[in-house]
Amino acid sequence: MTTKDETGAAPSRTEQAKQLLAQYGSAYLVTSISFAVVSFAACYAAVSAGVDVAALLGRVGLGVSDTSERVGTFAIAYAAHKALSPVRFPPTVALTPVVAKWLGKKAGAQAGDSSSSSGSSDGANGNGST
């Protein structure tokens, strides 16, 4: 996923995500959503346990206002979860092929490939029943 585009620059994370989705389909979604759920749950647990997330976000350069100090646990956990997105992406890229192999998907296999064969069998069943 570190291939360069035609300008010689490395693709953006958005482009890498699109490539992973096109190449691995549901395996990428399973990996990405799993990391997101774990990340949000960990952030929520940290905020609920009293970790000063506002101070931690301030240390990494994210501004904290008076409003952010008054919002609820969910909102603070969500902000921390979003701030951790760059941390979640590399493991997602690394583990998507592993998850794809575990799920039995081959790289480049499209969901349309399996649906087209099931679609033709449905068509055959439909023709036989009329």
What pLDDT is attached to residue 45?
93
Compute the distance between CA of residue 109 and CA of residue 53 in angstroms, rounded to an integer: 41
What pLDDT is attached to residue 65?
61
Whole-prediction pTM: 0.61
Averages of pLDDT over each 10 residues, the chain, 130 residues: 58 84 86 93 90 74 61 83 87 90 68 44 44
What pLDDT is attached to residue 33?
93
What pLDDT is attached to residue 120?
42
What 3 state SS string does 29-75 have? HHHHHHHHHHHHHHHHHHHHCCCCHHHHHHHCCCCCCHHHHHCCHHH
What pLDDT is attached to residue 85?
86
